[in-house]
């Protein structure tokens, strides 16, 4: 790349200066900072790569396509943020490691508010296909005190790699919530997680294909834990040994979240005496440690 002439550099830098200055009177100081820094980085990117007009048009078409495919069941912009690692970077910035707390990871697009309440020991699978899996553990604070009454939301894909909301028949399966007991303990049945692709039939999928990246997510169970006075935790349990553990499409894997799932052949008695007939099953333990709520978190 040829060196820029001083006249050309002057043209480009003066534009950055004027655009940054145009946000200088923004009354909200945070909005001012966000917009001015965004402009500096965006112009820096355009100038660094010497962006062509065709490339800028293609970028605008790409974003337009993301908008066109987005509806109340499909959120292509969240997916874009996820595959760019922007979701995980925002989580990293906002969930600084705090003592021994359970680490957070990406929320994903498949949580829904109206999941069923299940009793302790209940089954969130609700008929979804897959291998039964027993999950148990306790919820504590950073001092090891049990957290009673913590709400534990759980959701996952079935053995075919689909969440219930991806089926057109309105089924509710593979999701639910329960509360920890007076000792902070919880236990429930779900399905042994399997790897599955993020939705890749839209513009983000085309981008992944163009850069030869896989759309596969490492096998995981989504868990969200909320409790009075404590920081809400959004996380996953990942399956040790899963083939995608080192190349999760959305960069969600953290070592501390990878757990051994003990595999049992058919006929091995289950922890609660449930008769699974000729099905194999698995079990995993997840101790959940919640951080104190930051002062701004409304509870
Ligand atoms: C998921 O966990 O289901 C997911 C997360 C990010 C993007 C797409 C799917
Ligand atoms: Fe998921």
pLDDT for residue 198 is more than 60 = yes
Q: Are 155 and 115 in contact (CB under 8 A)?
A: yes
Residues 6+ apart with CB under 8 A from 5: none
Whole-number mean pLDDT of the chain? 95
Residue 187 near ligand 1, beta carbon < 6 Å: no
Q: Which atom of ligand 1 is nearest to the CA of 250?
A: 6
Residue 227 near ligand 1, beta carbon < 6 Å: no
| Ligand with minimal distance to 208 CA | 1
Q: Which of 217, 219, 223 to mutate to test the pocket of ligand 1 (most atoms within 8 A of CB)?
A: 217
Q: State pLDDT tens for residues 106-143.
A: 999 899 888 999 999 999 999 999 999 999 999 999 99
Average pLDDT over residues 153-181: 95
Distance 9 CA to ligand 1 centre (A): 42
Distance 64 CA to ligand 2 centre (A): 25
Average pLDDT over residues 212-224: 97
> What's the distance, CA 279 to chain centroid?
30
Distance 104 CA to ligand 2 centre (A): 14
CA distance linking residue 226 with residue 149, whole number of Å: 9
Q: Are 215 and 208 in contact (CB under 8 A)?
A: yes
Q: Give the per-residue pLDDT at 204.
A: 98
Q: Are 237 and 253 in contact (CB under 8 A)?
A: no
């Amino acid at each position: 790349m040829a060196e820029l002439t001083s006249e050309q550099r002057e043209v480009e830098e003066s534009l950055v200066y004027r655009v940054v200055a145009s946000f200088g009177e923004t009354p909200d100081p945070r909005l001012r900072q966000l917009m001015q820094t965004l402009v500096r980085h965006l112009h820096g990117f355009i100038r660094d790569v010497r962006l062509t007009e065709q490339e800028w048009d293609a970028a605008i078409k790409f974003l337009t396509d993301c908008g066109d495919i987005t509806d109340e069941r499909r959120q292509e912009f969240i997916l874009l943020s996820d595959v760019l690692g922007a979701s995980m970077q925002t989580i990293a910035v906002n969930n600084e490691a705090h003592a021994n707390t359970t680490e957070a990871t990406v929320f994903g697009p498949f949580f829904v508010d109206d999941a069923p309440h299940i009793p302790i020991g209940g089954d969130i699978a609700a008929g979804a296909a897959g291998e039964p899996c027993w999950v148990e553990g306790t919820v504590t604070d950073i001092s090891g005190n049990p957290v009673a009454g913590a709400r534990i939301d759980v959701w996952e894909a079935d053995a075919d790699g689909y969440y219930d909301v991806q089926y057109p028949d309105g089924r509710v399966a593979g999701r639910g919530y329960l509360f920890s007991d007076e000792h902070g303990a919880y236990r429930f049945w779900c399905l042994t997680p399997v790897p599955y692709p993020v939705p890749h039939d839209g513009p983000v999928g085309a981008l992944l294909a163009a850069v030869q990246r896989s759309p596969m997510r490492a096998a995981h169970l989504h868990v969200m834990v909320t409790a009075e006075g404590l920081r809400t935790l959004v996380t996953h349990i990942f399956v040790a040994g899963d083939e995608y553990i080192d190349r999760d499409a959305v960069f969600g894997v953290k070592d501390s979240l990878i757990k051994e799932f003990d595999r049992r052949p058919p006929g091995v008695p289950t922890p609660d005496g449930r008769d699974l007939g000729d099905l194999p099953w698995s079990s995993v333990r997840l101790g959940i440690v919640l951080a104190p709520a930051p002062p701004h978190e409304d509870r």
